[in-house]
Amino acid sequence: MLQNVDLRLFPDGQRLAAEMVGALIGVLARRQQAGGVASISCTGGSMGQAFGQRLLELQDRADESLGLVDWAKVHYWFGDERYVPLGDPERNDGLLQEFFDRLQVPESNIHRVLGPEDSDDVTDAAYAYAEQLRATYPELTERFSSERDERTPIFDVVMLGVGPDGHVASLFPGHPAATATGVTVGLTDSPKPPPERVSFTTELINHSARVWILATGAAKADVLADAFTGAKPDLPVARVSGAEQTMWWLDHAAAEKLPRHDD
């Protein structure tokens, strides 16, 4: 069984996203009230989309909770990015673009992976992203370790969607990127298109205070059960955890095969 995983279950993805954004607002507000600089890592896929939509909904109805956070001062990173030009609808950073525009988040706080127009190749883009991370977080310049007691949390929250094969970010089971060391890794042959991607390593993801796994749908049920029960400890989703909290946010369909759970 995976250790120290908190489970949160919801009837559907919309309610999951609503609760998750509420919890995120709490984390970021507390961090800023304490005088800290909040940093999050965002995901792509359906949950990245649900996240962006929920933020826009709150903004549309001028929800007071949104005002608890100074969104222009949060640092936004992307746990993985598709290596396609900036502005391409395939890019993960585009899922939050409308929110960034409406909230006037300065470009200096939106940490984007370079596209092919600004880099030699995907390895170069991965290297540049690692440099950007190191320049922002000097802790990363020292050799870092995945040992729990030696971790330096860099991000307040890393959000990660999960594929039906158990991948998180662009760390696919059995792919060398899944066990890469260092800060970031470039892929040229991702099993999920597009083939070229830049991803955080497992090691970097684990330098987060909180890792939030987000998944909906029956297609993910088997792999989540395999990770949760410890049957397949090498699955990328089974290898990521937060220094303070590892939370799995699932809908009932995705959680269906987990050992007995309370709703």
Comparing CB distances to ligand 6PG, the nearer of 171 and 209 is 171
CB neighbour list of residue 13: distance below 8 Å, 6 or more residues apart: 46, 47, 50, 216, 217, 251
Provide, rounded to whole angstroms, the least separation between the CB of residue 194 and ligand 6PG.
9
In whole angstroms, give the CA distance from residue 18 to residue 11: 12
Rg (CA), the chain: 17
List the one residue from 80, 156, 196, 251 that touches ligand 6PG (CB under 6 A).
80
List the one residue from 115, 161, 186, 242 that touches ligand 6PG (CB under 6 A).
161
Provide, rounded to whole angstroms, the least separation between the CB of residue 33 and ligand 6PG.
30
DSSP line for 184-219: EEEES--SSSSS-EEEE-HHHHTSEEEEEEEE-SGG
Comparing CB distances to ligand 6PG, the nearer of 49 and 123 is 49
Contact between residue 190 and residue 167 where contact means Cβ atoms under 8 Å apart: no
Binding status of residue 45 toward ligand 6PG by CB under 6 A: yes
Q: Residue 153, CB half-sphere, CA atoms under 13 Å: how many?
A: 20
Pairing of strands 80-82, 5-10: unpaired
List the one residue from 115, 163, 186, 236 that touches ligand 6PG (CB under 6 A).
163
Binding mask 82-121 for ligand 6PG (x = CB under 6 A): x---------x-----------------------------
- Longest CA–CA span in the chain (Å) reads 50
Binding status of residue 53 toward ligand 6PG by CB under 6 A: no
Comparing CB distances to ligand 6PG, the nearer of 163 and 242 is 163
Query: Which residues contact ligand 6PG by CB under 6 A?
Result: 43-47, 80, 82, 92, 161-163, 167, 169, 192
